[in-house]
DNA sequence: ACCTGAACACCGTTCAAGT
DNA sequence: ACCTGAACACCGTTCAAGT
């Protein structure tokens, strides 16, 4: 049997996570996959938390850089916001790991830097730019949170749409209630929200 | 010993969660707390997931309604956004449970309705209002996500501030880098971001 | 240096059996 | 109707012992 070095162990752990999510990774299953006793993992990597940190390190190393596209500063800002959202949505395991390990700052940092660079190019400087960048980041984060929860929704639970349909409230216009009950196109909504926030932040409605 | 009915079991479960978080609640500890064999819990409530759902039901029942304050429509919208944020921050256990059980829609719905009502009062109608409400909700959600992660950050991990201090990037102005490296006042930032988004959405900069 | 086996202290859950 | 005890199939982790 090949030696159970760190690289092989981390690779096997990533396969287990890719197949069944972070919860599907146990020290015992991993050891079986590597072809070794569970206790050997502890010799090579350490505790479960050490293992997860090593896995996250490897995942971060594989991430492509965030690219800005477009010619106008405004378009480039929008493209970075979209890139961040796309990258987060395509790396849910890494996001979950980072959340569990308290390393989300690390994971979101490259996007933050890219956004800051483009905000500077748009002519916003100093603490104004810092505030603007953070506002955009929070908006992007909100999409991630709510889309993620939407994706993790259990079959038995009620959707926002169903809740609106069931709501009996005369103070809200029927047409508006109906609009809220319609499922949202989050792609369109994302572009709209980012556009509105940038318009106001850049002072160029 | 008093009968181990559902009410007593749920109350004991809430105490365990309040004391040590959702992870501190196990069927066996709960049974010990109630003074009964672990298997008795299954007779009264069912599985662990059934138990957590019953606990979340009780928590939702205890939530106070979201109130709008202020006289101008804009001020009332801002106050609802702040109320949502405050309520979420004060109910982290319920938020975690809702996320695990896929019931976040239910938990965020009252705030969504309150926001919709005030958006209508501000003169925005139909699908425009629906989009505007959702944009504000996503922004509020982003604060919750990033503040939450910030709070759950492990002592060993690096903060966004430390990452900025360590960044060596000549394309970003030193003053801006310094501004990003300063810890953000999320209260101020929240008011700023909500204000900017509302200004643009309501079309009254 | 690298790995195993036994052991400890936990989990959630089922099910037959008791009163 | 309500509860227990035994049992099953899992966990993470430690540590002495082997090569």
Neighbouring CB atoms inside 10 A of A6's CB total 12
**CATH architecture for the domain at A73-202:** Orthogonal Bundle (1.10)
Provide the Cα torsion B130, B133, B138, B141; round to 10°.
Answer: -130
pLDDT band at B56 (very low <50, low <70, confident <90, very high): very high
DSSP H or E run through A184 = none
Strand, helix or coil for residue A67: coil
**Is the CB of residue B175 less than 8 Å away from at least one CB of chain A?**
yes
Q: Which of B130, B172, B184 sits opposite A176 (nearest CB)?
A: B130
Checking each nucleotide's C1' against the CA of A38, the nearest proves to be C4
Tens-digit pLDDT profile for residues B117-176 = 999 999 999 999 999 999 999 999 988 888 765 555 556 678 888 899 999 999 999 999
Contacts of A4 (CB under 8 A, 6+ apart): A34, A35, A36, A40, A41, A44
Task: Considering only CA atoms, name the residue closest to the C1' of nucleotide D11.
Answer: A26
pLDDT band at B180 (very low <50, low <70, confident <90, very high): very high
What share of chain A has pLDDT > 70, as a percent? 93
Q: Where are the domains of chain B?
A: 3-62, 73-202
Distance from CA(B74) to C1'(C9), angstroms, rounded:
57
Tens-digit pLDDT profile for residues B73-109 = 999 999 999 999 999 999 999 999 999 998 998 999 9
Contact residues, chain A, for B120 at CB < 8 Å:
172-173, 176
DSSP H or E run through A28 = helix A27-34
Average pLDDT over residues A130-141: 93
More confident residue, B147 or B12: B12
Give me the pLDDT at residue B205, please. Answer: 44
- CATH code for the structural domain at A3-62: 1.10.10.60
What single string gives the DSSP state of each residue in chain B? -----HHHHHHHHHHHHHHH-GGG--HHHHHHHHTS-HHHHHHHT-SHHHHHHHHHHHHHHTPPPP----SSHHHHHHHHHHHHHHHHHT-HHHHHHHHHHT-HHHHHHHHHHHHHHHHHHTT--HHHHHHHHHHHHHHHHHHHHHHHHHHT--TTSPPHHHHHHH---TTS-HHHHHHHHSPP-HHHHHHHHHHHHHHHHHT--
Checking each nucleotide's C1' against the CA of B4, the nearest proves to be D2
Which of A143-147, A175-179, A199-203, B16-20 has the least mean pLDDT?
A: A143-147
Neighbouring CB atoms inside 10 A of A48's CB total 15
Which residue out of B149, B183, B205 would a mutagenesis test of the A interface target, given it has the greatest number of A Cβ atoms within 10 Å? Answer: B149
Tens-digit pLDDT profile for residues A149-199 = 555 555 667 888 889 999 999 999 999 999 999 888 889 999 999 999 999
**Is the CB of residue A142 less than 8 Å away from at least one CB of chain B?**
yes
Average pLDDT over residues B19-42: 97
Q: What is the mean pLDDT of chain B?
A: 92
Q: Which of A134, A200, A205 sits opposite B189 (nearest CB)?
A: A134
B 36-95 → A contacts, CB under 8 A:
none
Which of A79-93, A110-124, B38-52, B159-173 has the least mean pLDDT?
A: B159-173
What share of chain B has pLDDT > 70, as a percent? 93
Question: pTM for this one?
Answer: 0.92
Give me the pLDDT at residue B57, please. Answer: 98
Give me the pLDDT at residue A2, please. Answer: 57
């Amino acid at each position: 049997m090949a030696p159970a070095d760190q690289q092989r162990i981390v690779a096997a752990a990533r396969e287990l996570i890719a197949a069944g999510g972070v919860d599907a990774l146990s020290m015992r299953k991993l050891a079986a996959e590597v072809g070794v006793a569970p206790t050997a993992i502890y010799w090579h990597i350490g505790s479960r938390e050490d293992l997860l940190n090593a896995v996250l390190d490897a995942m971060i190393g594989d991430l492509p850089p965030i690219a800005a596209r477009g010619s106008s500063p405004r378009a480039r800002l929008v493209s970075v916001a979209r890139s961040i959202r796309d990258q987060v949505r395509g790396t849910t395991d890494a996001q979950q790991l980072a959340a569990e390990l308290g390393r989300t700052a690390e994971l979101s940092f490259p996007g933050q830097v890219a956004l800051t660079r483009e905000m500077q190019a748009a002519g916003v400087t100093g603490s104004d730019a810092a505030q603007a960048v953070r506002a955009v980041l929070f908006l992007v984060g909100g999409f991630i949170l709510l889309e993620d929860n939407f994706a993790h929704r259990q079959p038995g639970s009620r959707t926002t749409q169903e809740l609106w349909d069931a709501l009996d409230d005369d103070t809200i216009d029927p047409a508006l209630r109906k609009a809220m009950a319609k499922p949202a196109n989050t792609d369109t909504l994302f572009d709209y929200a980012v556009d509105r926030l940038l318009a106001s932040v850049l002072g160029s409605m």
